[in-house]
Amino acid sequence: MAQTAVAESDTGPSLTELARRHGLTKAGRLPSLPEYTRYLWSYRHFIAAFANAKVSASLGSTRLGVIWQLLTPLINAGVYYVIFGVLINTKQGVDNFIAYLCAGVFIFGFTQSVVQAGSQSITSNMALIRALHFPRASLPIAVTLVEVRNMIASMIVLVAIVLLTGEPITVEWLLVLPALLLQAVFNTGLALFVSRLVSKVTDIRQLIPYLMRIWMYGSAVLYPVTFFAERLHGWQLTLIEANPMLIFIELMRHALMENVELAQPAGLLWIQAIVWTVLVGLGGYVYFWRGEKGYGRG
Amino acid sequence: MADIEREPTVIADNAHIVYRIYGSVAPGANSPLASLKRIVTGKKSAAVREVHAVKGASFVAYKGEAIGLIGSNGSGKSTLLRAIAGLLPVERGGGIFAAGQPSLLGVNAALMNDLSGERNVELGCLAMGMSPDEVKEQAPGIIDFSGINERGDFSSLPMKTYSSGMAARLRFSIAAAKKHDVLLIDEALATGDAKFRKRSEQRVRDLRKDAGTVFLVSHSEQSIRDTCERSIWLESGAIRADGPTDDVLKEYESFVNK
């Protein structure tokens, strides 16, 4: 016998009560933060496979394939050198301007591409999200891993440029690793943050290129960091020197090159880099986790 | 109903599900002037449209049941399945409760078209929560079951070279490789040629034996009749009938043929 089962308002509590009595869990319940972290950890193989798949999918259609991972940073450095090193002379007394410029371009490019790819990591994988159950943070983390891979290729190019331009290998080169590690965590937090933001307010994606350009000009990528100290004073200078990208770039230049003028002492830079990494890494993760159950809605 | 001895596995309590769609705007509604007006008056953007796909669904599903979901196109069947799986959030009402983690077995699960069938099998299995060892163990079986290698070595070719039937078969095979507490099947039986259909129906019956409860969305009355003893008829997001399959199908047919 077919009975019509249109929801009555008074049947509501009893059904919920029944579910509770039988220990059913609410579909789409937000797991606690430690629970979510364990869940994410159990998906580490998926994250790695997804990142690898993304790389092979993007390079698979080109003839040169993996070589592009080295060619892209080389061409990038070449373009910036011709424009800012040769045509517009922004050197201002930096001895080894090519290496100085490339360190800035590559370190900033790392964060820039993470933000760009991260902003689309939820919106462009909507079909996957609506079909399968997995911790959504896998997606922005996977795109960050792809960029980490690209960054390793960039670092090979950067080290070659630094050596060719006559910098000696010193113990300080070891600092490259912790600096990159901090930046990678910082970038992951940033990718998690923008991916949720863009999935909620799609308009932000249109703004990201401009925001990144403004950020680049504030990070002394194309000109020496002394440029700011000569022109800005007081709170303006404090503000620009607290810029995390400026700090990461300075750390890299300091590690790889001799005779670089820093805006602040190296120890202070390291402390700020750690604070920024913890702040953005954790903040981005928590912000993303809080939205976990809403990503399928679009 | 004797729900004292029967154990419920899925309970929906007056669940409302709302989709938000961006960018499908009527011409003129997105002009600068209209946008400015929205900002000034503080109205919700017209660029976001809401689709109220399920309007207050309530039902209790018990262990060992197979339930068919029927209804015309766009009546909210697939949306309801996604909400049971926890993939879409419930907007209002008491919510949907389930035992364990229900899994959605759909033919729409997106895979990466630029990658080979083998890589897609690996990726899909990992996304379902298998460990790499399990994946290694299962992968040959999945490829065999899908039958994509029947005409040469297709599993090492990118998925974009597959016919749509082959791709659907591979997706079904991946999804059916795992055992589930609550199994949600979305039109999966209508995939591929007759030979594959027979094989997949057998697989679904096997999965049913292991699963506690099965939900099946299908437009094929035959497969609903074959697999489900109970049916729920959804129309424009509301449940019109819920009961034994024969009765519900009869009511549905008289509605369709009107």
Highest mean pLDDT, choosing among A113-127, A267-281, B56-70, B120-134: A267-281
Cβ A291 vs Cβ A135: under 8 Å: no
In a domain, A126, yes or no: yes
User: Is the CB of B98 less than 8 angstroms away from the CB of A24?
Assistant: yes
Given a cut of 50, is residue A6 above it in pLDDT? no
Cα–Cα dist A239/B224, whole Å? 66
The answer to which of A39-48, A248-257, B150-159 has the lowest mean pLDDT is B150-159
Grade residue A1 by pLDDT with cuts at 50, 70 and 90. Answer: very low
pLDDT at position A65 is 73
ipTM above 0.85, yes or no: no
Cβ B115 vs Cβ B156: under 8 Å: no
Grade residue A284 by pLDDT with cuts at 50, 70 and 90. Answer: very high
In a domain, A3, yes or no: no
Q: Which residue of A has its CA nearest to B80?
A: A27
Cβ B19 vs Cβ B87: under 8 Å: no
User: Is the CB of A1 less than 8 angstroms away from the CB of B102?
Assistant: no
Which helix H or strand E contains B46, and what residues bound it?
none
Grade residue A2 by pLDDT with cuts at 50, 70 and 90. Answer: very low
In a domain, A239, yes or no: yes
Which residues, 6 or more positions from B53, have their beta carbon under 8 angstroms from its beta carbon?
B17, B18, B19, B76, B79, B237
**A·B CB contacts under 8 A:** 176
In a domain, A24, yes or no: no
CA dihedral A51, A56, A57, A63 (to 10 degrees): 150
What's at B181, amino acid-wise? Answer: D
Given a cut of 50, is residue A4 above it in pLDDT? no
Cα–Cα dist B202/B173, whole Å? 12
Asked whether the CA dihedral A84, A87, A91, A96 is positive or negative, the reply is positive
What's at A102, amino acid-wise? Answer: C
Q: A68 at the B interface (CB within 8 A)?
A: no
pLDDT at position B1 is 45
Name the packing angle between helices A138-164 and A44-59 (round to 10°).
Answer: 60
Query: What average pLDDT is seen over chain A?
Result: 85
Cα–Cα dist A18/B62, whole Å? 12
Grade residue B116 by pLDDT with cuts at 50, 70 and 90. Answer: confident
- Counted domains in chain A: 1
Highest mean pLDDT, choosing among A6-10, A289-293, B105-109: A289-293
pLDDT at position B189 is 60
Reduced to 3 states (helix: H, G, I; strand: E, B; else coil), residue A184 is helix
Given a cut of 60, is residue B179 above it in pLDDT? yes
Given a cut of 80, is residue B178 above it in pLDDT? no
pLDDT at position A192 is 95
Q: A42 at the B interface (CB within 8 A)?
A: yes
In a domain, A189, yes or no: yes
Cβ B69 vs Cβ B77: under 8 Å: yes
pLDDT at position A200 is 85
Grade residue A10 by pLDDT with cuts at 50, 70 and 90. Answer: very low
pLDDT at position A64 is 77
Highest mean pLDDT, choosing among A20-24, A84-88, B238-242: B238-242
Cα–Cα dist A293/A132, whole Å? 13
pTM: 0.81
Cβ A108 vs Cβ A163: under 8 Å: no
In a domain, A20, yes or no: no
A260 DSSP 8-state letter: -
User: Is the CB of B129 less than 8 angstroms away from the CB of A45?
Assistant: no
Q: What is the mean pLDDT of residues B168-189?
A: 77
User: Is the CB of B109 less than 8 angstroms away from the CB of A132?
Assistant: yes
Q: What is the mean pLDDT of residues B6-27?
A: 75
pLDDT at position A187 is 95
pLDDT at position A91 is 67
Please, which residues bridge with residue B232 across strands? B69, B242
Judging by beta carbons within 10 Å of its beta carbon (0-12, 13-18, 19+), is residue B243 exposed, middle or buried?
Answer: middle
Q: How many CB atoms lie under 10 A from the CB of residue B97?
A: 26
pLDDT at position B110 is 57
Given a cut of 50, is residue A5 above it in pLDDT? no
Q: What is the mean pLDDT of residues A245-256?
A: 92
Domain B8-102+180-256 has CATH 3.40.50.2300: no
pLDDT at position B83 is 84
pLDDT at position A281 is 95
The answer to which of A36-45, A97-106, B14-23 has the lowest mean pLDDT is B14-23
Chain B: give the shortest CA distance to residue A13, in Å.
8
Given a cut of 90, is residue B24 above it in pLDDT? no
Grade residue B145 by pLDDT with cuts at 50, 70 and 90. Answer: confident
In a domain, A228, yes or no: yes
Sheet of strand B8-22: strand arrangement: A25-26, B95-98, B8-22, B48-62
Residue listed under structure tokens 């309801």: B80
In a domain, A18, yes or no: no
Q: Which residue of B has its CA nearest to A4?
A: B241
Highest mean pLDDT, choosing among A13-17, A275-279, B78-82: A275-279
Q: What would the pLDDT profile of B54-99 be if each residue is shown by its tens digit?
A: 888 888 888 878 888 888 888 888 888 888 887 777 877 778 888 7
Out of A16, A24, A29, whose CB is closest to B99?
Answer: A24
Cα–Cα dist B224/B231, whole Å? 8
User: Is the CB of A46 less than 8 angstroms away from the CB of B126?
Assistant: yes
Out of B106, B123, B247, whose CB is closest to A53?
Answer: B123
Could you give the count of Cα atoms lying within 13 Å of B228 in the half-sphere of its Cβ?
A: 33
Q: Where are the domains of chain B?
A: 8-102+180-256
pLDDT at position A111 is 94
Domain span at residue A169 reads 31-290
pLDDT at position A227 is 82
